[in-house]
Chains A and B, each alone.
Chain A
Amino acid sequence: MFIAIFSLTLLGGALGLFLGYAARRLAVEGNPLVEEIQAILPGSQCGQCGFPGCAGAAQALANHEAPVTLCPPGGREVVALLAAKLGVEVNLTEVADTVPQVAEVLEDLCIGCTRCYKACPTDAILGAAKQIHAVFREACTACGKCVEVCPTEATRLIPVPVTLQSWYWSKPSLQGATA
């Protein structure tokens, strides 16, 4: 048994060393700007900017193909950091400082037209024709497409409601610590 353990460890170690050496030799240098931008972005991969994830958004930002205001969850702070990093002028007063949001369907206004259901890119809306629609909050990325298509203004974006799963103790305040 010890021979087996020893030889397999040796084999694994040798292969690991070889791969480690190969990784050093064959390392690909990515665009350092992309990596720096990715470090600024929230990294929650929410997709609200329209890119598949923060990596795609960082790539587009580095190529100046997307505006620095693209990231809704990042808020003002991220816009300011991105503008400084890319050397772009931006009017910060136009950027709303938002909290995480989800879509909501107002049930007394919904006519069950299924337009939001068809527009939703993440299949977060439950519904059928002439049935009142509802939103799966876990799947919603708050992209706002349902708000645009709704003929009766029954969909809107609201801050993510606090539930038993998402509630947390507020951070201890400085006052409490000194008193």
Chain B
Amino acid sequence: MSAVMDFLTVFSQPQLLLLVGLGTFAGVYVGAIPGLSVTMAVSILISFTFSWDVYPAISLMIGIYMGGVYGGSRTAILLNIPGAPSAIATALDGYPMALRGEAGEAIGVTTVMSFIGGFIGIGVLALFAPLISDFALTFQPRDYMLLAILGILLVGSLSQGSLVKGIFAGALGIAIGAVGRDPLTFAERFTFDFQILEGGISFIAVMIGMFGVSEALAQLHHVDKDAVRQKISRIVPSLSTVKKHLPLSLQTSSIGVVIGALPGTGGDIAALMAYDHAKRVTKSPEREFGDGAMEGLVAPETANNAAVGGAFIPMMTLGIPGDAVTAIMIGALFIHGLNPGPMLMIDQPDMFWFIVGALVTANCFMLLFGLTGIKLFTRIVEMPRAVLIPLIMLLSIVGAYAVNNSISDVYWMLGFGVFGYFMRHYGYPLGPVILGVILSRLLDDNWRRAIISEREDLGRFFHGIVTSPLSLVLFAAVILIFVSQTPLWSEGKARVFGRKGEQQ
């Protein structure tokens, strides 16, 4: 019974309720501004809430986290500039909708779907946390490696137009991710003996440059064109719309929870994988993907919000962070005199139920703040481009600097901005570059761990894959997806089913 009381702590104390609300509200804006990240906000809150009690401090942080993960979608839809890496996939179909004047509808669907995804994530956290964390622990280096390969195969669905250009972009991303001192051996890679390159290139800087600055440069082509007028009459999606996408959102939320619960992977990868999944299972979308398909919004947004609940699973059950934000929260719990670890759930179950309660509250606030104030937000896109473009550039600069307080990140950001501008013009997709950077370390580090563990023996390595059920399933998925992207497959499929396959 006490679990219910702890769960209701937030609702029974107006002060906590207020803090969660405040946090969520701030989080939406933190998430929406590229360069202001939830990670940053939460680590500043550690100092800010230092002298507070633990409940209010955690309430505020959870609010920011929930709101921030959702907020990234705002600028992705309105400006084609994802506010956070987990919103990259959202831009793919969200922005085309805004170009048609349907930004209001897109934001409405995104909000409701984030809410649903958030709830599923929290539900899994509350009911199956120990189960999922045991499962997450069974992932060996080779499984992480296979997961990374699975992620890299998403290049296929992220590159409309030319697949070869997409593959080039993805490989470039992996190379960018490898720049700097290798974290495992400290060998210098792609540094060309420049000290400035030793720290590597922050992937947030690459993202801001490629999406922010290059977008602003591209917009210079039609400064004088009037902005698209946004219809904001239909914001709350109809029940039938929600119902229609419910099966998909359940699937993509599960992807989100599991990827979120794995230490080392988070909402960004989850959202991209969910987008790919949606593209595979949606047989006949009302609109093509990349053209403003509703499914293209539903999938990443449910997944990244479900990943929040997922990230708390290893944190609460084992004291292992599920992502960067939960890592800082573990630090916050330390500072407030708790001992986050496997004993926390046994010694202080109240903390667990309190956090679940706070997450539920934050999720509700997210729905509330998400569906209100859209008018104000859509005004941003209706601002004259002459003001908007310079402001986007300035925000990109500050944002890139803020990631790691480093000027060299600003230079990289600007460089990739100009480079991305050319890539756009010559038909190279940008998504795979970011995908490559995100997955670079996951792939590289775990490949090396896996092969070192097997004493550099490929035979033993494959033996390991074949004898572990988890690895075998992942390996089969890799093969299947890879084959399904080759032209041979669509030909075969066409012959069998007598119609043209859906592959590109």
A binds B: no
Residues in A lying within 8 Å of B, measured CB to CB: none
